Amino acid sequence: MKSTWYCVAGLTGGSEMERIEVYQTEIADRNSAVSSKRPEAALWADADAISKLDAIAERFGPCKQVVLIGIGGSSLGVRAVYEALHPRGEAVGKLLVLDTVDPFSLREAEALLTSKDALSESVIVIVSKSGTTLETQANFEALVVRLLKVYSKEAIYERMVCISDPECEFARFIANEGGYVVQASFVSGRMSIGTAAGLVPLRLLGVDIHALALGMDTGAQAALVKNSQASSSALVWHLHYESGIRVREIIVPDPSLFALGLWMRQLIAESLGKEGKGFTPDISVATVDYHSTLQLRLDGSPLTATQFVTSVANPTADEILGGPHFEGVSISQIRVAIQQGVAASYHSRARPFEVVELPDITAQSIGEFLSAAMAEVMFLGHLWEVNTFDQPAVEDYKKVARNALNL
C-alpha cells in the first residue's frame, strides 16, 4: 500500500512527529497490548477469535446467507470487507444487514429467511458489545416474531450466534433459548473488524480470514515503525487541521468500496470528534460524484482536503467497452484518464489531496488498509489529546431513548 500527498507546500511541523514516535513505541508490542487490554490491540487481528472460527463454521454447516443484526461499528466493518470482496468472488454468501430500525429491511429479512426453508442454510448474527443497543434489540425481537410464523423457536435459535458480553441479560437470554454466544472483544466497536464481531460473520460468508488477518498484522507492523505512511499521513492531516481544514473528503473508485468509505467516516468522526475538535468526513464515489461535488471541492470553500482511495490492479475494471469511439478501450483506461484530469484540476487550483493506492482488492490488501487507517486515527487522537476510543456524546442519546421507552 502506498500513500502520497500533493499540494501541501508550506505545511511544516515541529515536535509532532516525535510525539507520535513515543506513542508508537508504547503500543508496538502486540502481546503487551492484548494482555493489558489496551484498545490499540484493535490494530491486529484477534488470534484467539480466529482459533475458534472453524468450530463455529462447523457448528452451522454450509451457509448461503448471513443476516447481521448490528449497528455502527457492529456492522460497517463487515459491510466494508464483504462489499469490496463479494463482486470479486472472494465472499460467496449473501449478506443482509439490519442496522437502523426500518420496516422494509425487516420485510426483506423475513422474505429471505422464510423462502423454501432457507433458515437451515442461513445464520443470524447479532452483534452488541453491551447487549443494550436499542436498535439491535428491536430488530432482533421483531425478526424473531416474524420468523415464529413459519419456524419453531428451537429451529430459529439453533441458527443464531450472538457476539456480546456472555454475562449480559441479552446474551444469557439467547443462550438459554439455544443460541450460540461468542465473547465480544474489549476494543471499541468501530475498530472491531479484526475481532469476533467482524471475523465470525465474514468467515461464515466465505472470506479468507487468514488473508485478512495477515493484512491487518502487516498493516499494524508497518504503521508502528518510525516515519511510517500512517504516521506521516496523520501528521499532514494534523497540520491541515491547524491550517483551518475542517472537511475530509474520501473518494473511493467504485460503488463496491462505498461501505469502506462509510466505515472510514465513522472511524474518523466518532474517534476524533470531541472537545470541539474533529474533521467532518464526506464520502464520494468516483466517477459519478465528480458530477455533483467536484465543482464545490475545486472552486468552493478551501477548507477541504481530499483522500483518494485507489487500486492499482482492478480486474473488474479491465473489461473492454467496444463501440465506435471506444474500440479496444478498457474501463480501467477510462478511469485512469478521468483521474488524471481530476488530479490536474486539483494541482492547478492548489487544492491538497492524498492518494492511497492499494495493490489490489483482496482480503489481505483490505486488511492492511484497515489497520493503517485505524493507526492514523490513533496517532491523530494522540496529537489532539482526545480519547480516540470512546463516544460519550453518543451514549447520551442512547440513555434518553431507552428512558423514553421505559427500558
What CATH number does residue 118 fall under? 3.40.50.10490
Q: What's residue 329's pLDDT?
A: 87
Q: Is the pLDDT of residue 277 over 80?
A: yes
Q: Same domain for 244 and 383?
A: yes
Edge-first strand listing for the sheet containing 304-311: 2-6, 353-358, 304-311, 247-252, 280-285
Q: Binning pLDDT at 50, 70 and 90, where does residue 221 land?
A: very high
pLDDT of residue 395: 84
- pLDDT for position 255: 93
Residue 364 lies in a domain: yes
Domain closes at, from 184, 207, 230: 207
Residue 309: CA atoms inside 13 Å, Cβ hemisphere, count? 27
Tell me the three state secondary structure of residue 275: coil
Nearest alpha carbon to residue 237 among 5, 2, 1: 5
Q: What is the pLDDT of residue 315?
A: 59
C-alpha cell at position 36 = 493489558
High-pLDDT (> 90) share of the chain, % = 81
What digits encode the pLDDT tens for the residues 85-129?
Answer: 998 888 888 999 999 999 999 999 999 999 888 999 999 999 999
Among 3-7, 41-45, 136-140, the range scoring the smallest mean pLDDT is 3-7
* 336 assigned to some structural domain: yes
- Residues 160, 126: contact at Cβ < 8 Å? yes
- Structurally, the chain folds into a number of domains equal to 2
160 and 280 share one domain: no
Amino acid occupying residue 377: V
Q: Which of 157, 180, 207 is the last residue of a domain?
A: 207
DSSP state of 184: P
Q: What is the residue range of 149's domain?
A: 39-207
Q: Are residues 199 and 219 in the same domain?
A: no
366 with 226, same domain: the answer is yes
- Which of 185, 207, 229 is the endpoint of a domain? 207
pTM value > 0.85: yes
Same domain, 309 and 185: no
- Residue 12 and residue 10: Cα distance in Å, rounded? 6
Residues 406 and 213: their CA atoms lie apart, in Å, by 42
pLDDT for 279-322, tens place per residue?
999 999 999 999 999 999 999 999 999 999 998 766 556 778 88
